[in-house]
Amino acid sequence: MPRRQVAPTAAIRFDVVDGPEATATVTGAVAAIRGRVRTLATVRSIAGDPPQVEIELEVEGVTEDALVAALDGLSEIRAIHRTRALGTVFGKRIIVVGGGAQVAQVALGAVSEADRHNLRGERISVDTIPLVGEADIAAAVRAVADLPRARLLVLAGSIMGGDISAAAEELRAVGIPIIALNMVGSITDHVDLVVSDPVQAGTMAVMAVGETATCVLARQRGRRY
């Protein structure tokens, strides 16, 4: 699936009176200045009368000044903080899912390699969750498709198959590649690359999404190490 280049993005965080109309009002004001809402995420709820929510908003195609001006006059909005688009701070995300022992070792390799890339100006994050059981792991694999900026999944465990393998194919179909540890089960037939050593799997995952080594997966797809 080809990706378009993303334009610079204005980002703010604001408090707004909670209610069904809140986000429609905000997105209407953004549309009026011809901005494209890329993210609108509730980050906190604030109890009170009336209750408020704190929302992070990223808009493509407008300046931060124009965005603040468009929202500043709305009566529902109580406070606006200027911030930065999350992609410029946390960048591309490697997601690691599986058993705790293996997830920790993959994270060790991935964080070490991401450190080297980030020192040179890239932004790569390593996000992990230890989980057990076919249903929960399969749900997490499918949910990676819903995560903003997720670029690659590492499956770190000792046995995976069944619905996890089905979920892996669904995720690859939306354009997110998968590296799996060499393990028991059918999963190793449904991923882009199989790596036995978890530290190396984490390292390769970062190399695959880094700007300096984008060819890793294209050349290695289907191989086992």
Positions in 55-74 near a copy of itself (CB under 8 A)? 56, 61
Name the token pair of 109.
């390799």
Given the complex with a copy of itself, which of 124 and 208 has the nearer CB atom? 124
Given the complex with a copy of itself, which of 11 and 71 has the nearer CB atom? 11
Establish if 35 lies at the interface with a copy of itself (CB under 8 A): yes
Cβ neighbours for 189, distance < 8 A, ≥ 6 positions apart: 165
Establish if 116 lies at the interface with a copy of itself (CB under 8 A): yes
Positions in 182-201 near a copy of itself (CB under 8 A)? none
- CA distance to 32, 88, 100, 140, 194, per residue, from 131 (Å): 44, 29, 7, 9, 20
Given the complex with a copy of itself, which of 62 and 208 has the nearer CB atom? 62
Query: Using CA atoms, how far apart are residues 145 and 199, in angstroms rounded to an integer?
Result: 24
Residue 94 burial (CB count, 10 A): 26
Cβ neighbours for 100, distance < 8 A, ≥ 6 positions apart: 130
Identity at 158, one-letter amino acid code: S
Positions in 39-58 near a copy of itself (CB under 8 A)? 39-47, 51, 54, 56
Given the complex with a copy of itself, which of 25 and 220 has the nearer CB atom? 25
Establish if 154 lies at the interface with a copy of itself (CB under 8 A): no
Q: Least distance (Å) from a copy of itself to the CB of residue 170? A: 9
Establish if 125 lies at the interface with a copy of itself (CB under 8 A): yes
Given the complex with a copy of itself, which of 37 and 166 has the nearer CB atom? 37
Establish if 3 lies at the interface with a copy of itself (CB under 8 A): yes
Cβ–Cβ under 8 Å, residues 174 and 1: yes
Given the complex with a copy of itself, which of 1 and 215 has the nearer CB atom? 1
Contact residue for a copy of itself among 10, 70, 71, 140 (CB under 8 A): 140
Query: Using CA atoms, how far apart are residues 119 and 185, in angstroms rounded to an integer?
Result: 38
Stretch near a copy of itself under the rule CB under 8 A, chosen from 72-80, 119-127, 160-168, 179-187: 119-127
Which region, left, alpha or beta, applies to residue 221 given φ > 0 means left and ψ of -120 to 50 means alpha? beta
